[in-house]
Chain A
Amino acid sequence: MTTLDKPSGVAADRGRAAGADRAVRRDLGVVNALSHGFLLFWGALTVLPLLWMFLSSFKSNAEILADPWGLPGELRFDNWARAWTTAHIGRYFLNSAIVVTGSVALTMLMGATAAYVFARYEFRGRQLAYYLFVGGLMFPVFLALVPLFFVVRNAGLFGTWTGLVLVYAAYSLPFTVFFLTAFFRTLPTSVAEAALVDGCGHFRLFFRVMLPMARPGMISVAIFNFLSHWNQFLLPQVLLQGDDSKWMLAQGLAALSVSQGYAGDYAQLFAGLTIAVLPVLLVYVAFQRQVQSGLTAGQLK
């Protein structure tokens, strides 16, 4: 690493380095080389499988079998076309996009309204209702799986997108309400009071004043919900069995991963995976800061 030859330069420019300081500095040199090695190693470990997936999506099946880590002979975009149409990745992609758009919108609307009421109004049973919502953060989805299947079926929503949208939203409410309640509390009360004094109604106050003010918090939660709905596998697996024309992207990829073992079409699988990774990668690179802060806040609950 180029940084290795720097200690002398830094030491010289500081000049007055004490003895103890110099010892620490020497110690730092060794540790730094080592730690840089580890950092690079983990970086490679993270990138390598993804790079391999990307390159393999251009290879022929013969190339994949003969030389797992060679470069593709040419850029075979027909793998991508095959994954998009024959393996229906295109359709699943669209299905997921429709459902996630609906569920994130619903989650944000319901989460924001409930959180606003909890944060800004006093009424009987407020504590109880709030803890009922937030308590949902603690329970594993597993426990609910079997009965949920029947609740959805009895409501006539089994195998429908509407069912998924409602269930995604319901299970995202605990975190959304929790996060947004805290956020609405941080907004200044003076603005709201002034608006009410000026004769603004409670509904208009929310939509015209409070909601625009809460935009930063709303965006963080929306990105968090988008990623978790987009990546959801368990709920569609249970609630959308059967009819594969309605499947979500995750289900389609899981099926492709299994069936590819029999068909031997590895190139198609890699192309399918790459197609699924690209939009997430783009969103991530574009909104890195919000994604990281949203997700870490999400896990801290």
Chain B
Amino acid sequence: MKHGKYPLIVTFLVPPLLLYVVFVVSPYLQAFQISTTDWLGYSAEANPVGLANFRAMWHDEYVWNALKNNAILLVVLPVLTIVFGLFFATMLSMGGRRGRAGVTGVRGSAFYRTVYFFPQVLSVVIIAALWKEVYQPNAGLLNGIMRAVGLPAPPWLGDPRFAFWCVLAVMVWANVGFYVVLFGAAMSAIPREIYEAVLLDGASRWATLRRITIPLLWDTVQVAWIYLAIAALDGFILVQLMTNGGPNFSSDVIGVRLYDTAFGSETKFGYASAIGVVMFFLTLSVAVLALRVGRRERIELS
């Protein structure tokens, strides 16, 4: 295979590499450099200011407020999503009655899986616009139900006490189906004989889940954790479209801060890039932490 391979390698590799370096690698590298300048956008010049942007951020209460919300997301979103995901996936792939075939899913599990997964293929914009209407104070679906059963009907997204949690609920709603399918796929890789053996030994369903399924699924749960953590540090599109961080910054997140700083009323590109750099390191640390904390001894099958 030696003869004449270089023309192919060059024609096949150079265009994608060029595209990738220009539009992906170079912006990432520039971001670090811009974050150390006081660049105010389109035409103004950029002066190097060292770490001044990062120092300013340390004293920026809006950034801290947004980070606090991201921190809450970081704890609540993965926990709720993974617990729901594991629960539904367990029901769907082995909640069924044990017949002759051994461990089976509940009836209609394929149908449930199809329905649960659907929010995942919808664009985030559609989800945001739809749920904004569900929460709408007068004509919304939620308050229609609240009124019908005689409960108070608050202006959900307009109330600083509820706005953030309403957006959080939508994130869980949109994500659970995906993890049901992901965990379901991982569960189907576990040999049936293991379940048949422990069921013969009289293990309860809960013990089976805790002692067999979850340990064997641990790698997948860990991956799920990392992806949900990254999603929790972002949360930008849903928040921007549903509440734009309001009311009174109650639902603000760091992504909305960055976007506002860069493309809002003032174009503080230097400062925005500094926020981006902080987000980058936060994301990286969360991923590394998740891998470290989640490390367990690998269980070898067969």
Interface residues of A (CB under 8 A from B): 3, 6-7, 10, 18, 20-21, 23-24, 27-28, 31-32, 35-36, 38-39, 42-43, 45-50, 52-53, 56, 64-65, 67-69, 110-111, 113-114, 116-117, 121, 123, 129, 132-133, 136, 138-140, 142-148, 150-152, 155, 166-167, 169-171, 173-174, 177, 192-193, 196, 201-203, 206, 227, 230-231, 233-234, 238, 249-250, 253-254, 256-257, 266, 269-270, 273, 276-277, 280-281, 283-285, 288, 291-293, 295-296, 299-300
Q: Do most interface residues of chain B lie in helix, strand or loop, or is the interface mixed?
A: helix
B204 touches A196 (CB 8 A): no
Complex: chain A residue closest to B121, CB-CB: A284
B112 touches A273 (CB 8 A): no
B20 touches A173 (CB 8 A): yes
Q: CB-CB < 8 A to B91: which residues of A?
A: 35, 38-39
Interface residues of B (CB under 8 A from A): 1, 4-9, 11-13, 15-17, 19-20, 22-28, 30-31, 34, 84, 87-88, 91-92, 95, 97-99, 106-107, 112-126, 128-134, 138-141, 143-145, 148, 173, 176-178, 181-182, 185, 199, 202, 204-205, 223, 227, 230, 233-234, 236-237, 241, 255, 258-259, 262-263, 269, 272-273, 276-277, 279-280, 283-284, 287
Q: CB-CB < 8 A to B259: which residues of A?
A: 145
B20 touches A133 (CB 8 A): yes
A145 touches B139 (CB 8 A): no
Contact of B23 among A27, A167, A227 (CB under 8 A): A167
Q: Tell me how far the C-beta of A235 lies from the nearest C-beta in chain B, rounded to whole angstroms.
A: 10
Q: CB-CB < 8 A to A155: which residues of B?
A: 22
Bound CA span A273–B98, Å: 43
Complex: chain A residue closest to B2, CB-CB: A122
Q: Tell me how far the C-beta of A162 lies from the nearest C-beta in chain B, rounded to whole angstroms.
A: 12
Would you list 30 pairs from A and B whose C-beta atoms are within 8 A, ordered by A residue? A3-B107, A7-B97, A24-B202, A32-B95, A35-B91, A49-B130, A52-B134, A64-B139, A110-B19, A114-B17, A121-B9, A132-B25, A133-B20, A136-B20, A143-B273, A143-B279, A146-B269, A147-B30, A150-B30, A170-B23, A206-B12, A227-B121, A250-B123, A256-B129, A257-B128, A288-B114, A295-B120, A295-B121, A296-B182, A296-B185
A170 touches B19 (CB 8 A): yes
B130 touches A273 (CB 8 A): yes
Q: CB-CB < 8 A to B126: which residues of A?
A: 253, 273, 276-277
Q: CB-CB < 8 A to A20: which residues of B?
A: 202
Q: CB-CB < 8 A to B177: which residues of A?
A: 46
A257 touches B129 (CB 8 A): yes
Contact A170/B178 with A143-B28, A233-B124, A234-B237 known, Cβ cut-off 8 Å: no
Bound CA span A120–B185, Å: 30
Complex: chain B residue closest to A113, CB-CB: B12
Q: Tell me how far the C-beta of A200 lies from the nearest C-beta in chain B, rounded to whole angstroms.
A: 11
Contact of B97 among A18, A32, A56, A293 (CB under 8 A): A32
A117 touches B31 (CB 8 A): no
Bound CA span A250–B125, Å: 6
Bound CA span A49–B132, Å: 11
B115 touches A277 (CB 8 A): no
Q: CB-CB < 8 A to A113: which residues of B?
A: 11-13, 15-16
B9 touches A68 (CB 8 A): no
B123 touches A230 (CB 8 A): yes
Q: Tell me how far the C-beta of A260 lies from the nearest C-beta in chain B, rounded to whole angstroms.
A: 9
Contact of A193 among B1, B17, B148, B263 (CB under 8 A): B1
Complex: chain B residue closest to A281, CB-CB: B118
